[in-house]
Structure 1
Amino acid sequence: MKITIYDVAEKAGVSIATVSKVINNTGRISDKTRKKVWSIMEELDYQPSAVASALSGKSTFTIGLTLPDLANPYFAEIARAIEDQGRKHGFNVFMCSTDNDASKEEEYYQLFMKKRVDGIIMVSRDKENVIVKKILNEKVPLVMIAREFFAVPVTSVMVDDYYGGMQAGQHLLEQGHQRIAVIVENLTELGSKERLRGASDAAKEADIAIPESYVIEGGYTLDSGKAAMKQLLMLEQRPTAVFACNDILAIGAIQAVRESGLRVPEDISIVGYDNTILATIVDPPLTTVAQPIKEIGERAVALLVEQIQSKESLRQRVVLMPDLVVRQSTCAIDL
């Protein structure tokens, strides 16, 4: 027998109007009553009609989420944080992985519009910002993660990548390293540029330069991390330390070092970035710059819900701080 709004109201001891207000997030309802009604709906497995809500112009209680690669533990952990936080606010999260493909971003944008999502959270790899512009033109609430859009006001949740890069560089310098290389993801992206700039400025403060030959564009995969590290190992004067701008690149670099017959960290120290679950299970455990993944998800959802409820799209820029986690993939160099 299908559960109706009448069943929810009766079980919760409130009126049908109160249940409706809770579902549509309208009216003055106490937090206690709101939580009670949501609890009863979960207990009875009551599903409000999203189609009916959409046709009436009301909330569908869905958030669209696009991420570049859900196979990457960093984005998988971000997705989990957003899903958990969305649930707390009464929203279901519709997740899509674009595989760093701008055409897939377009497909998922069209799907989100058909589903009448209430808002979108996204990490975009589209250099032309086509989808971002379309979303803004449709006046759909939008929050961007890990990337800013300067042409038009967009709410964003960022991490201070410059500071993270500086932390990585300073750590290696404190270990006595002077030949420090950097494997970046993509030099056309702000995050990669800022991580590199932070590490370079840390070196400059110690009167050390990172030469161009020590900066390799590695992409996003394990294999590309290995390939970038192999390039560095072929240099006449190889580096004694490498800062890889994500954990996957760092692990690829560790594999390449081992395959060459060298050791981490005794011959080459390696620092990653993100502090995903991979950093704790790789051998040796990875020294890495930890991004506040849970907080990124929480802040992104909170800002999106604020836009949905207020129906305003004022730009807010949240910058969170990363923190270095020292493990066994780095050590002091013997001079």
Structure 2
Amino acid sequence: MRVTLQQIADRVGVSRPLVSMVLNGSKGSMRISDSRREEIESAARELGYIPNLTAQVLSGKASRAIAIFNANVTQYSLSVLTAQFLRNAAKFNYQLLIDTSFRRTDEEYCRDVGNMLRRSPDGAIILGQLPPQALALIQIPTVVFQQYDLFGCRNGDFYPDLAAGGYMAGLHLLSHGHRKAVYVCTRIHSQTHDKLTGLRQAWREAGLPDEDVIAIEAMQLSEPVEGHLLSLIREKGCSCGLMSNDFVAARALPFLRRNGIRVPEDFALIGYDGNAFAYLTDPPLSTISQSYDILSSAALELLLERIEKKESGCDIPRLHRFVKPVFFQGGSCGCPCEPPPVLGWSRDMLFLEERFGDRIVTYEDFIAQHKPIKKKNGETTINRSHSKNNQRGEAP
């Protein structure tokens, strides 16, 4: 049975309004000594009193709760991002109210937003895009993560820097001596095409033509993607590839093996997203990680700052900050990588950082290791000082 304010008042021998003033922060004209306040708080702890959140909010106290909208936990990357928000919110002594629905009408959006706001969160994290009428209902401090409108314009605070991720993959593959690459994705005309832009940027800086980076768009092919990939490897001389996500990369590994193509000796590949299963593939998958830990921490810090400053409403000036990814070094790119002690693990993990932090390279360190080197004759080559493990053994 829930402990009431009256029970605490009876224990201490004071009035119920006095107990309410102390525990719920309600305003009143009553004066109370420090010793009596401590006596009331001590009795509340001993009886296991749980404060009435509604009463505290009505009295002007913070709810210590943050709402997250559009946390589609059926999508792997968003579920991992949500888990990072849960873990990092606890560090700030906040709890999360999570809106897990995804496909719904505008009317349903407004209903769900209203239901969430009735729980009096201090602020909100918005993942992606809400309908304008639902967004207008949110008159509390907000932070928007990766919001794009229908025309590709960005209107958020934080975005994963996909172009930087593609650029990192390109620099690393070039450092292993590769000169023809494949980019495998669902379609180019989407937000993820920035990865291809970054990949081609690395090729251009190495003095190589765009034609040496060939994109495979699954939705644009009349033939199976698998056959097209084999053709590019066997007939066009493509020796490496960037996969648009880790699931595509993980499926490519056994497919290539069944067709007599060794990874990384015959074809090196890099995945994208930094999913925890990357180290369980054979060979362990090298991948670009979205830095969800960094993203969630930065978003929470910004939101708490806006809560402190009482910046509310949908017209808050947005930060427009692109967060650089990190690189997880597996073995699929050509770097040496010992297989994990799979049977020795005590539990599953969601984040590569939990066990393999020594294999994660920040963007700044990665660029310092891979930065292009200008020769005296004006030519550009790739810095290989980061790696003693180029398995192809080709000259840049």
Normalising by the smaller structure, the TM-score range is 0.7 to 0.9
The one-letter amino acid of 2:251's match is G
Give me the whole-angstrom Cα distance separating, in 1, the residues matched to 2:106 and 2:91: 27
Q: Counting helix residues as a fraction of each chain, which structure ranks higher?
A: 1
Give the structure with higher Rg (CA): 2
Give me the whole-angstrom Cα distance separating, in 1, the residues matched to 2:275 and 2:132: 28
- Structure 1 unaligned runs (5+)? 23-36, 220-226
- Contact 2:110–2:133, Cα closer than 8 Å, also in 1: no
- Contact 1:141–1:308, Cα closer than 8 Å, also in 2: yes
- Contact 2:147–2:156, Cα closer than 8 Å, also in 1: no
SS of corresponding position for 1:64: strand
Match of 1:170 in 2: 171
Distance 1:254 1:122, change over 3 A: farther
- Contact 1:184–1:215, Cα closer than 8 Å, also in 2: yes
Match of 1:143 in 2: 143
The one-letter amino acid of 2:392's match is I
Per the TM alignment, residue 218 of structure 1 is displaced from its structure 2 partner at its CA by 5.3
- Structure 2 unaligned runs (5+)? 13-17, 27-40, 335-390
The one-letter amino acid of 1:83's match is L
Distance 1:145 1:286, change over 3 A: same
Match of 1:246 in 2: 245
CA distances 1:232-263 after superposition (whole Å, capped 9, x unpaired): 22344252111113222221222332233322
Residue from 37, 48, 51 that aligns with 2:52? 48
Q: Are residue 317 (structure 1) and residue 320 (structure 2) matched?
A: yes
Match of 1:193 in 2: 193
Match of 2:131 in 1: 131
- Contact 2:2–2:49, Cα closer than 8 Å, also in 1: no
Per the TM alignment, residue 186 of structure 1 is displaced from its structure 2 partner at its CA by 4.8
CA RMSD of aligned residues (A): 3.9
Match of 1:157 in 2: 158
TM-score between the two structures when normalised by the length of structure 2: 0.63
Match of 2:231 in 1: 234
Give me the whole-angstrom Cα distance separating, in 2, the residues matched to 1:8 and 1:296: 43
Per the TM alignment, residue 78 of structure 1 is displaced from its structure 2 partner at its CA by 1.3
Give me the whole-angstrom Cα distance separating, in 1, the residues matched to 2:257 and 2:244: 19
Match of 2:35 in 1: none
The one-letter amino acid of 1:174's match is S
Distance 1:93 1:130, change over 3 A: closer
Per the TM alignment, residue 194 of structure 1 is displaced from its structure 2 partner at its CA by 2.0
- Contact 1:63–1:91, Cα closer than 8 Å, also in 2: no
Give me the whole-angstrom Cα distance separating, in 1, the residues matched to 2:275 and 2:292: 9
Q: How does 1:85-100 map to 2 (within 5 A)?
A: 85-97=88-100
TM-score between the two structures when normalised by the length of structure 1: 0.73
SS of corresponding position for 1:289: strand
Per the TM alignment, residue 265 of structure 1 is displaced from its structure 2 partner at its CA by 1.1
Give me the whole-angstrom Cα distance separating, in 1, the residues matched to 2:92 and 2:5: 20
Q: How does 1:15-164 map to 2 (within 5 A)?
A: 16-17=20-21, 19-21=23-25, 44=48, 46=50, 48-50=52-54, 61-72=65-76, 74-97=77-100, 101=103, 103=104, 107-108=108-109, 110-116=111-117, 118=121, 119-124=123-128, 131=131, 134-136=134-136, 138-148=138-148, 154-164=155-165
SS of corresponding position for 1:93: strand
Distance 1:134 1:65, change over 3 A: closer
Match of 2:257 in 1: 258
Q: Are residue 327 (structure 1) and residue 330 (structure 2) matched?
A: yes
Give me the whole-angstrom Cα distance separating, in 1, the residues matched to 2:111 and 2:57: 16
The one-letter amino acid of 1:333's match is R
Which shows bigger deviation, 138-147 or 193-202?
138-147
Give me the whole-angstrom Cα distance separating, in 1, the residues matched to 2:283 and 2:154: 43
Q: Figure out how many residues of one structure are paired with residues of the other and give that number.
A: 301
Give me the whole-angstrom Cα distance separating, in 2, the residues matched to 1:49 and 1:98: 25
- Contact 1:66–1:105, Cα closer than 8 Å, also in 2: no
Match of 1:30 in 2: none
CA distances 1:21-43 after superposition (whole Å, capped 9, x unpaired): 59xxxxxxxxxxxxxx9xx88x9
The one-letter amino acid of 2:303's match is L
